[in-house]
Chain A
Amino acid sequence: MADTAQRPVELKPISKVVIRFAGDSGDGMQLTGDRFTSVSAVFGNDLSTLPDFPAEIRAPAGTLAGVSAFQVHISDHDILTPGDRPDVLVAMNPAALRAELHSLGGNGTVIVNVDTFDERNLKKAGYTENPLEDGSLAGYTVFEVPMTSITLEATKPLGVKPRDADRSKNFFALGLVSWMYTRPVEETISWIEERFAKNELVKESNLAAFRAGHAFGETAELFDFKYEVRPAALQPGTYTNITGNTALAWGLIAAGQLAGLPVFLGSYPITPASDILHELSKHKNFGVRTFQAEDEIAGIGSALGAAFGGHLGVTTTSGPGIALKGETMGLAVSLELPLVIVDIQRGGPSTGLPTKTEAADLLQAMYGRHGESPLPIVAAKSPAHCFEAAIEAARIAIEYRTPVILLSDGYLANSSEPWRLPDLAGLAPIDPRFATATNHTDPDGREVFWPYARDPETLGRDWALPGTPELMHRIGGIEKEDGSGNISYDPANHEHMVQVRAAKVAAVAKSFPPVEVEGDEDADLLVLGWGSTWGAIGAAVAAVRAEGHRVARLHLVHLNPFPSNLGEVLGRYRRILVPELNTGQLSRMVRAEFLVPAEVQSKVQGQPFTAAEIKTRIDDVLVEMEKDA
């Protein structure tokens, strides 16, 4: 290092920043984003993330199809979304710049790995001119950083081959951005040491790259500012940063403990649900059995078999798997056994957009089975909420002896947010109420067990486990007589059973608290949501209200049955706007159920709503309503 006076770098406090890391699928951008997120979480910022990656494992290097991005929003106050527009784009190659520049705010900052801007890579990305030279980035603050060559230089003394050194350049980027935003470095260093403990050379190479990136910020004299985002004033408590899929897996484990039932997961790998299988398979010491089945049907079949044996049966999948599991769900409806079916929704139909989010399975969850086969539906609204939603789905399944569909989506699955850990002692136990004695006297005076004798309150049937003496019984998918469970083709009995199964699902609503509207309760417009739109709707409504307009909002967790007072609440509003990542499914359901003027705001681009998109629509509706008034 030259022994000259350093140009001073000014430290600027800012309240929030949105950074988007983008590179080739093989560049490790998800890992980089994840590390930046973890450090920011432990530092105490509020945050929200949006991983955005292609379906291909390694699309041809340097192409637009191969660009993988990770967006993180950190702030010193409570935030709800990963940010509409990044302030900073880190582009590891020309393709990343080309694919992601459009998302950047007009005067954003671009940090590029200038070493990759050669003729070959520019051509692969579809550039005819070098955007760093042709003036097309005017208006942006651009930092051209030779990330590859400095990483190579920094790792050379370790004896790292150039090809291997290239793989460490994401840690250079992480080091540089960590410097720019004054992130503590110790945690990342110890994380690298632990994560790569098995490969000394890789560990040292990554450490060297990370330190080089950090030092580059300090010494390169490219930067006039570094920034600081102070910790957010969150509610007191212990926090951890969590993704939706991890929270959901932990919620299932918690539900098993609350009910005193071992968890059994039968699952077939599918994006974006597989991480739940991965997570649960780690926790065998909780008595969790995970079974990677031969197909989706065996996934749910094995879970149903385990449920018959008294386990908390769970199957996890995405939309295509739900379609395959339909017949077994119908069987579970008929058997009246507890079962949790988790649908991490993705873009469809068919293979659709496997790694991108969509919430278009609501009507499939409602109606995607033959015959009259209603089942309860619960939808998670944020990554951390997946924990609570999983417990709620299991509670309903066990107490009412019914399959329950739990809806999440690709966005919730992979995004993360700080989660204030719940007081575990405060979680309500779930009582499986297993039958232990006969429950019916035959006309000849014999004491027998009737598998379809019901609890008058829940209408849930008596559930006797194999192994219980004297309660042997047979259940099946053929229509059965209520009470005895014997096969019955009697017309009136079938109608009765259809009605009793529907009444049982409807009865679940009695266990819900009444819904409460947030915002301006007496406004004329209600924004109604479900699922992962919770954060974007919340931010949009807050922004509208901050401008002095009146708007109410309501977010549903229970989609079937609806909460008992929902019709009454919806009836109070002149207009109801339903932002949905589909073409109008909840809006259709509430119109059909309550005859209310619900209108959809649809988005099906594989991406979550931005708060701005929803705010614009609310503003438009408010203007229209003013004209009408």
Chain B
Amino acid sequence: MSDTIPVTSAKDWASDQEVRWCPGCGDYSILTAMRMLLPEIGARPENTVFVSGIGCAARFPYYINSYGMHSIHGRAPAIATGLAMARPDLDVWVVSGDGDALSIGGNHLIHALRRNVNMTILMFNNQIYGLTKGQYSPTSELGKVTKSTPFGSLDQPFNPLSVALGAEATFVARTHDMDRQHMMETFRRAYEHKGAAFVEIFQNCNVFNDGAFDLVIGKKETRAAMLIPLRHGEPIRFGADNEKGVVIDEQGRAMIVDVDEVGEDRLVVHDESRPDPTLAFTLCRLSTGPTMPTPIGVFRAVDRPEYGASVNRQLAAAQEEKGPGDLGALLTSGATWEVR
């Protein structure tokens, strides 16, 4: 990068708009992490676009001083797909929530992931519909009592990472709103990934679903026992004294064990780059909800051709072969005749 381009600071990335989330919302810490990360990774405001759908999270673009579009419910990945295909020179971010991404926009999410369109998708998961004031979401737990489920939810929740992995995503990660460093590191990895990156962020909605993630991230002192950090190339261990670990049993299931009992050699060594998603899938099924020890970090990061680049290669190949388009030649490409 030319040294005439000034380095940005977090302040440069703050727009002039007043942030209007509820006081105490987890979204604030995500916004701060993003504003701090963007200067660090050398992003340029004019080359950055945030696209969002509808929901509390979807207000995010208004608060970043870049290009941005606050679109309609669920459609951000589709809109971002067109933008990323048209403009491979841009950094395209999609900011979404659990309802926006997994319910009304589920179709666009899975197709953007399978195509591997160059965009970084941040899904703020608060397990509730916040903006519409408290209905259950596709990630709400079974039995959840909300305004629309006074007798408890009957809907089996999605595991967002399982959905992403099932959709052939090439980058899948999880982080949470209580750890700025972990968010920044996860967002950085997602940003650097070529293709579609999917990041689930545990995000507390302190008004309609307060404490949904408290058991795993609520208190700093219990996090060591409840969060399982995934580090590429390292045995998967956790606990205050690293006394717990993860093994794969004979049926291929991930299980939590005491390291002393099984020995360190039996622990799974995390490999985010494995072409087949089995390990990532098994790890993301280790917990069935944020009530038991839960892996965080990068589950999967593999190389596959990026969609927009492939599209542009076809265009370049066509121009190479036929030359740039000649409208006159196109109009006379069928049978023609002269009338004098």
**Residues of A bordering B, CB below 8 Å:** 38, 41-44, 187, 231, 233-242, 250, 253-254, 257, 262, 264, 266, 283-289, 291, 293-295, 297-298, 301-311, 313, 327-328, 330-331, 335, 420-421, 424, 466-478, 486-487
A289 CB contact (under 8 Å) in B108, B311, B330, B335: B311
A233 to B335, CA, bound (A): 19
B327 touches A253 (CB 8 A): yes
A137 to B69, CA, bound (A): 67
Q: Which of A43, A327, A466 has the most CB of B within 10 A?
A: A466
Q: Which residues of A contact B67 (CB under 8 A)?
A: 466, 472-474
Q: Which of B66, B69, B89 has the most CB of A within 10 A?
A: B69
Q: Which residues of A contact B190 (CB under 8 A)?
A: none
Given A41-B335, A285-B324, does the pair A301, B90 have CB atoms closer than 8 Å?
A: no
Given A421-B332, A472-B67, does the pair A289, B339 have CB atoms closer than 8 Å?
A: no
Instruction: Name the prevailing secondary structure of the A interface residues.
Output: mixed
Q: Which residues of B contact A253 (CB under 8 A)?
A: 325, 327, 330
Q: B61 in the interface, Cβ–Cβ < 8 Å?
A: yes
B335 touches A42 (CB 8 A): yes
Q: Which residues of B contact A473 (CB under 8 A)?
A: 67-68
Which residue of A is nearest B316, CB measured? A284
A25 to B82, CA, bound (A): 37
B81 touches A476 (CB 8 A): no
Q: Which residues of A contact B66 (CB under 8 A)?
A: 472
Known: A287-B325, A294-B108, A309-B86. 12 other contacts (CB 8 A): A43-B337, A242-B334, A253-B327, A257-B327, A262-B86, A283-B325, A293-B78, A301-B108, A309-B87, A470-B46, A471-B46, A472-B45
A475 touches B82 (CB 8 A): no
Given A42-B335, A424-B328, does the pair A466, B319 have CB atoms closer than 8 Å?
A: no
Which residue of A is nearest B322, CB measured? A285
A285 CB contact (under 8 Å) in B61, B68, B72, B325: B325
A291 touches B82 (CB 8 A): yes
A302 touches B46 (CB 8 A): no
In the assembled complex, how far is the CB of residue B194 from the closest CB belonging to chain A, in whole angstroms?
A: 19
A234 CB contact (under 8 Å) in B111, B319, B339: B339
A43 to B62, CA, bound (A): 62
Given A238-B336, A297-B78, does the pair A285, B321 have CB atoms closer than 8 Å?
A: yes
B72 touches A477 (CB 8 A): yes
Q: List which B180-216 residues lie within 8 A (CB) of chain A.
A: none
A298 CB contact (under 8 Å) in B46, B68, B70, B111: B111
A197 to B193, CA, bound (A): 46
Q: Which residues of A contact B127 (CB under 8 A)?
A: none
Please, could you name 27 A-B residue pairs with CB atoms under 8 Å apart, sorted by A? Answer: A44-B337, A236-B339, A239-B339, A240-B334, A240-B336, A240-B337, A250-B330, A253-B327, A284-B314, A285-B319, A288-B325, A291-B81, A298-B75, A301-B108, A302-B78, A309-B83, A327-B72, A330-B72, A466-B49, A466-B87, A472-B65, A472-B66, A473-B68, A474-B61, A474-B62, A476-B62, A476-B69
Q: Which residues of B contact A294 (CB under 8 A)?
A: 78, 107-108, 111
A474 touches B335 (CB 8 A): no
Which 8 pairs show the lowest CB-CB distances between chains A and B?
A476-B70, A286-B325, A305-B82, A302-B82, A301-B78, A284-B318, A298-B78, A305-B83
B82 touches A236 (CB 8 A): no
A331 touches B325 (CB 8 A): no
A399 to B79, CA, bound (A): 22
Q: B278 in the interface, Cβ–Cβ < 8 Å?
A: no
A187 to B336, CA, bound (A): 12
Q: Which residues of B contact A240 (CB under 8 A)?
A: 331-332, 334-337
B82 touches A309 (CB 8 A): yes
A124 to B224, CA, bound (A): 76
In the assembled complex, how far is the CB of residue A27 from the closest CB belonging to chain B, in whole angstroms?
A: 24
